[in-house]
Chain A
């Protein structure tokens, strides 16, 4: 014990005498372990955590999707009903809307707020198997169309808004102005998965306008003993029957796309599907950073053990056994590992909240993401393993060489070849990894810049968007919706600074109605098309070009001739080679509409989506059923173009905009009031986030490489001083010595660059998959977004070479300014 304490004291004293080495080694370890620990904590709370439901391994999602798509539980209403009736592998099946929808909640305090409601079948919550905290879940009767309106609250909403009223069950709350009876409260574990505030009955019916679309999700619990594979096999056998029974499914398949099929996945995979590839890619980047830190540590420890050779040789000569020397080296490694790990934990603790808040990817928090005991144990284990593997082993190699050699003078100048090879290999490996990280960062940055440069089709400067949810019985009619929109538009126009106002259901770069549409006289051409509903002046307000014909006007009313505008893409597809003006189009089950205008293409739901045929219809000419549907599914957006001065978003304006809405209907809260640019920025948030993150990792990797290269060359200059003296004695000029050291650094970098470039090319498909999954693009679109690999590799190469020259310059200058007589005396 005394010996160990003595080793510890000696180690601390030694580290204190080499503060440069100690700080560099500890910081290198701390940053590597900090990044790894933060990522492990995130992966543990999302990908590795089980769903917070009883026997969650039995839960699956059933998706009607194309093969090769990520796990999903998308389903049409009719196929959902079919599964309820025919699937045998499950003990229960639940159907829900495709996502929680924004609703207007009021508890009578006079201040409405937006909440998120998921419409679920009576079997949905029982399938999850979580018992209600208060009351119960929906009965089959409550889920039938026309049943009395009921609602189940989340524990969070119950506590946050209703002060955890223990008598809430049986009382009424108001959603979209309509009363709903509370029948239960579900524990908070349910909301952690998708952020739902309330659950409402789905009332699935064949008369539902979205019944034939993939507007639903299906979950199920496997029967005891049944497996995912068995369930998949059963549903695979049912697929052909489904399509025979429901031929309309083809409507939801883009031309040329693979056919839809029923797939079964574990529900956990579906919940984390969106985040999965992103987290795996980030984990790989973090592991690369950790590996770089380890390689750097190996270089540092090797160099340090070489400087300690005389001490090691002396101790050995004085009788220290190999075991004693091993213990001494081990003590130093463990001290570094422990301090580095503790600091790394601190970094992780600070970085995690930043990472979570900055991430544009929805990360389902299945378990709290925090630095807890298992995470701390992971950090310390990683630290110790890394240090022992990458720090102690190279040091032991030097130790073995040292005790194998005598205390006498060497007869050759310079390092031994094997030791040089080890040091050089470490640097080459670091440069390889750093190049891969740098080129990945450059590739993602390129993607972000490409995406940002895609024209949206609107003019964002001085354009603002005010979104509201018009839901419930009050807004199930066109006249009431039209009345609300008209009055709010008038009030918004009165706000100082507002130049133009119009309204749309289905804002560009947002969500809107996917419908069917096409030329009225060619029913065979009717296929997937986007429908948008607008008020007069919409195109002028958002800045979209009217290419031909005219705009809608106040003269286009419910009783006047049905009219529409179509985009350029639709015109070329439906009326090739001729003007579409005066032609007739159909959208959904609507009557034929005369085309009065041709509009420039606009990206409908995202910047990277391919342009779709789009039909614009006046609000006044939407039938009640369609109005109820679009109001139920999508937010209504008022677009405001302001005069070109001042900051429009000061608190007074925000209050005035809010007042313009609530004055017309106090039960309708403002869901969002933001510049149009925000929608566009949100669309590129994922590539921006990843390019920043990859840039950060690449910067760290570059820094580590700089430190490593600087350390190696400094060490080489120190250990080759006598060789340099010999070279000078033989007539080498200072510039020749300078270029020799520089060339050494650049050569190592160049070799690493070659390997790194090969690795970067291999990584391209992984990055493409990451971009595709986060941005939602198809393969061809992703390829054009990523741009040329040569550009990213060139950027990485240039950065590495500049860094290599910078890192080599100081040791090279030191070598060139050596005095030959002193250099020849060096040991």
Chain B
């Protein structure tokens, strides 16, 4: 279900990202093309260092690309300033992190309310209503006064999902949402994402676990900063030149 530039929620074209460290150039993304349709559930996978997190940061407007185009909800957002990116991030994007990233000295309620406090013109009653609805969606409405440290990992991640949902974003960006959870809690979170998708949420999830990637409608594979087809990825992974870990020759012997 690949979306076109006109009906997609997200459309990126020829996206590049280069990091400069001292005199070294690192090409994290080398001309990525990707579209995500409204209501689509996309899984992004690839080996370590392939550019998944960089792409997710750019999709989430946490970072800016070095080149290329990025259209979100029909608006070009690649070169916005920090303030505009923050505003759009607050309104359009919901983040779910691998390490939950709940704030330790805020209660469950306050954590979920946090993105709403950065919006102007929203009354406290409206905020409360949205927070409670979000918490109810993740079945955590009974723990509003608890602190994160008083919750299990699975519960913390559900609160993190509620926080991502509270602002009614256009898309949920999930970065290895099950990475810090045991398999049982991991499955529970995946089920929750599945339910949200069925309710109409657009989700873009980064994962390296094929079991969880299988929950998505569509899987995208990244390799060396480019989107590649699944078959191509397997081929590349099998090639010792691209993937030294598969080499039968010891590195010292090659040197």
Interface pair B62/A824, CB less than 8 Å apart: yes
Q: Does A413 contact B (CB under 8 A)?
A: yes
Q: How far is the CB of A811 from chain B (nearest CB, A)?
A: 18
Q: Does A417 contact B (CB under 8 A)?
A: yes
Partner of B118, one of A732, A820, A824: A732
Which residue of the partner chain A has the closest CB to B84? A733
Interface pair B57/A414, CB less than 8 Å apart: no
A residues near B167, Cβ cutoff 8 Å: 730-731
A residues near B114, Cβ cutoff 8 Å: 727, 730
A residues near B101, Cβ cutoff 8 Å: 412-413, 722-723, 726, 729, 824
Q: Which B28-65 residues have C-beta < 8 A from chain A?
A: 57, 60, 62-63
B residues near A734, Cβ cutoff 8 Å: 82-83, 86
Q: Does A589 contact B (CB under 8 A)?
A: no
A residues near B90, Cβ cutoff 8 Å: 730-732
Partner of A731, one of B86, B97, B103, B180: B86
Interface pair A415/B95, CB less than 8 Å apart: no
B residues near A420, Cβ cutoff 8 Å: 105
Which residue of the partner chain A has the closest CB to B83? A733
A415 to B149, CA, bound (A): 12
* Contact status of A729 and B60, CB under 8 A, knowing A411-B156, A412-B148: yes
Q: How far is the CB of B87 from chain A (nearest CB, A)?
A: 7
Q: How far is the CB of B252 from chain A (nearest CB, A)?
A: 28
* Contact status of A729 and B95, CB under 8 A, knowing A411-B148, A821-B57, A821-B63: yes
A414 to B103, CA, bound (A): 6
Interface pair A731/B82, CB less than 8 Å apart: no
A471 to B2, CA, bound (A): 117
B residues near A723, Cβ cutoff 8 Å: 101, 103-104
Q: Which A711-770 residues have C-beta < 8 A from chain B?
A: 722-723, 726-734, 736
Q: Which A640-683 residues have C-beta < 8 A from chain B?
A: none
Query: What is the 8 Å Cβ interface bit string for chain A, positions 391-417, against chain B (1 contact, 0 not)?
Result: 000000000000000000111111111
Q: Does B89 contact A (CB under 8 A)?
A: yes
A residues near B156, Cβ cutoff 8 Å: 411-412
Q: How far is the CB of B180 from chain A (nearest CB, A)?
A: 6
Interface pair B103/A413, CB less than 8 Å apart: yes
Interface pair A415/B105, CB less than 8 Å apart: yes
Q: Which of A413, A726, A728, A730 has the most CB of B within 10 A?
A: A730
Query: What is the 8 Å Cβ interface bit string for chain B, positions 77-118, against chain A (1 contact, 0 not)?
Result: 000001100110111000101011111110000000011001
Q: What class of interface size applies to chain A in its complex with B? A: 20 to 34
Interface pair A820/B87, CB less than 8 Å apart: no
A411 to B147, CA, bound (A): 12
B residues near A820, Cβ cutoff 8 Å: 57, 62-63
Interface pair A736/B118, CB less than 8 Å apart: yes
A residues near B163, Cβ cutoff 8 Å: 730
* Contact status of A731 and B119, CB under 8 A, knowing A412-B104, A413-B104: yes
Q: Does B153 contact A (CB under 8 A)?
A: yes
Which residue of the partner chain A has the closest CB to B175? A824
A727 to B102, CA, bound (A): 10
Interface pair A412/B95, CB less than 8 Å apart: no
A821 to B85, CA, bound (A): 13
Q: Which of B87, B90, B101, B163 has the most CB of A within 10 A?
A: B101
Interface pair B62/A412, CB less than 8 Å apart: no
Q: How far is the CB of A518 from chain B (nearest CB, A)?
A: 76
Query: What is the 8 Å Cβ interface bit string for chain B, positions 162-175, against chain A (1 contact, 0 not)?
Result: 01000100000000
Q: How far is the CB of B81 from chain A (nearest CB, A)?
A: 10
Show 19 residue pairs from A and B whose CB-CB distance is below 8 angstroms, ordered by the A residue.
A410-B99, A411-B148, A411-B156, A411-B180, A412-B100, A412-B149, A413-B101, A414-B104, A415-B105, A420-B105, A722-B101, A727-B103, A729-B62, A731-B86, A731-B118, A732-B118, A733-B82, A733-B87, A820-B62
Given contact pairs A414-B104, A730-B163, A733-B118, a sample of 19 additional A-B residue pairs in the complex whose CB atoms are under 8 Å apart: A410-B99, A412-B156, A414-B103, A415-B105, A416-B104, A417-B147, A723-B104, A726-B97, A726-B103, A728-B86, A729-B60, A730-B89, A730-B115, A731-B115, A731-B118, A732-B90, A732-B118, A820-B57, A821-B57
